[in-house]
Homo-oligomer: A and B are copies of this chain.
């Protein structure tokens, strides 16, 4: 009964909203605008017209006026009847795109009237040139960067969207209607439910619930020595059918690994993330499926589910404000953790409450990325990760880490050994690559070959596709064609026998996975385990239960599967090092600084994504009289368990 009544109200509200928007637009614009259609395109309102220049002239004055009236973002599309032919349009584009931009290709989307223009240097195309193309052809131009090296990921995502243009526009249209439905239940109550990563590291998943809407922030897996654990999707208050949106902070499996599971179980709604996150997520999730299949495991989901996630994704840049449900607005802020990583800011209930969820956050500058941002228009609740929440979790600076790594490399090279560095493909690998190249450039270590294996090269290609998300230094280098990731010291292993690779000594090998839970690194470790001249160097956080964590804990007898599948046990005789300072996580001082310098000061701080002992220590500290006195700040500190819910309003 209640459900069907809800359906009726829902449909009524949809019709009413669409009518209201049309009426508001027509009462705002002059008569000569020649609007031929108004429709939702995701959270934006698309106005089709025969005369786009009327809307966009005077710095888009009319578009701004409409947006202010209907309180929604507006895009202008050319009327299909008036569009130039594709051939004519191509000629216009070739004429107006400057040669130094490096035009590579042009793709037409006859449904939306967009034309994608792939160039090597988008920053060399001016807005004036784009407007000129639009006004002349009535095709809306969209400039895409063609990466300097081939990226399978970038190509496949673009191909998929082009091949699914009808499906995609249907999705966006439905999304708009759903986002702008009139709320049936007033937003008087807001709570979060911890589905994962509460008092643990792994399977990040936080459900934000109001009487009207359900938003899931992150959908990760927890890596363990023994398969991966899902978030608590079986809690009765979580229902895929009632989910309005999934919002993703960044592309690590402990934040995205369970995302296709939602689609497998019937989720049809949107997923919000940055564009680099989309690309890295596709890469990691497809790899996850392939590895599961190769290892004969029952996969959690299939390639089809990964494709569903891609087609249901809506990407946003930092600072862009978007309605994602009635009375809920999303903004991403730079998190400093990996390429494209974002903090989630939710504005709920027209001023009722604002939540900031950091995801994984680095409140310090690294070679690769600028630090996390922490000034918000409003923020009453801060949900912050606590990976390094213990007071002993103070990490050396990246410069010190680089020096330490240099010393290890130098000594190992002098012993004619191999430096084996297990890395997460995304983030730490690029950071360590940059450090090694810099050490070589400064002649602190000899010019050694760096062998990389396990998606690292593809991940680097994605980095080159989105330089605007990188630090100013690296971005500048890429814009100036001094791309560090294409250094000739880097050798990508594809198909070469690993037995041959480890004979090329001295050398450095970077291989996945970063916590020794699988991947090519295990093969290298098996072959090098009893070589006391070689070194095993951990550069990232090792989750409890993983082989990496066990070795750091003193384990020196390791059982491997050899290529024939037989179990063999080896003594680990390599030199084992842990180089801290390359972490993409804030250390304890940085976490504290993030909170202290955050504007505005939150009223409630909720700790998650940390082992329970670290969470407890950090919670005690933040709640102590000592901290209150020192900082002059006072807020409530909470640290729920999984399956607990906390009421915010």
Contact = CB atoms under 8 A, between A and B. Distances in A.
Interface string A217-258: 000000000000000001111110010000000000000000
B645 A643 contact: yes
Given A237-B237, A641-B647, A644-B647, 13 more contacts: A191-B643, A191-B644, A193-B645, A209-B236, A211-B234, A235-B237, A236-B236, A640-B647, A643-B645, A643-B647, A644-B644, A644-B646, A645-B645
Contacts of A239: 236
Contacts of A542: none
A149 interface: no
A182 to B, nearest CB: 19
Interface string A188-204: 01010100000000000
A241 to B, nearest CB: 11
A554 B235 CA distance: 48
A234 B209 CA distance: 12
A642 interface: yes
Contacts of A643: 189, 191, 645, 647
Contacts of A647: 640-644
Copies of the chain in the assembly: 2
Contacts of A645: 193, 643-645
Nearest to A191: B643
- Could you say which of A211, A239, A645 has the most chain B C-beta atoms within 10 Å of its C-beta? A645
A643 B236 CA distance: 13
A325 to B, nearest CB: 15
A2 to B, nearest CB: 9
A647 B235 CA distance: 12
Interface of A: 189, 191, 193, 209, 211, 234-239, 242, 640-647
Contacts of A646: 644
Most buried by B among A189, A235, A643: A643
A238 B237 CA distance: 8
23 contacts: A189-B643, A191-B643, A191-B644, A193-B645, A209-B236, A211-B234, A235-B237, A236-B236, A236-B237, A236-B238, A236-B239, A236-B242, A237-B237, A640-B647, A641-B647, A642-B647, A643-B645, A643-B647, A644-B644, A644-B645, A644-B646, A644-B647, A645-B645
Nearest to A207: B236
The A contact surface, by secondary structure, is: loop
A67 B428 CA distance: 63
A237 B211 CA distance: 12
A642 B642 CA distance: 18
Nearest to A641: B647
A619 to B, nearest CB: 13
A640 B644 CA distance: 11
Nearest to A193: B645
Nearest to A266: B1
A647 B236 CA distance: 14
A193 B646 CA distance: 11
A211 B640 CA distance: 19
A644 B642 CA distance: 13
- A-B CB proximity, top 8 nearest: A237-B237, A236-B237, A641-B647, A645-B645, A644-B647, A643-B647, A644-B645, A191-B643
A239 B2 CA distance: 13
A626 to B, nearest CB: 16
A239 B238 CA distance: 13
Nearest to A190: B643
A211 B236 CA distance: 9
Nearest to A236: B237
Nearest to A185: B234
Nearest to A198: B647
A458 to B, nearest CB: 36
Nearest to A242: B236
A191 B189 CA distance: 21
Nearest to A211: B234
A58 B239 CA distance: 57
Contacts of A211: 234
Nearest to A194: B647
A643 B239 CA distance: 17
A67 B234 CA distance: 36
A645 B236 CA distance: 12
Contacts of A641: 647
A244 to B, nearest CB: 13
A267 to B, nearest CB: 15
A532 to B, nearest CB: 44
A616 B209 CA distance: 26
A448 to B, nearest CB: 50
A236 B238 CA distance: 8
Contacts of A234: 211
A192 B238 CA distance: 16
A644 B644 CA distance: 7
Nearest to A238: B236
Contacts of A238: 236
A301 to B, nearest CB: 16
A134 B145 CA distance: 92
Contacts of A209: 236
Nearest to A646: B644
A224 B543 CA distance: 52
A642 B189 CA distance: 10
A242 B167 CA distance: 38
A586 to B, nearest CB: 27
Nearest to A640: B647
Contacts of A235: 237
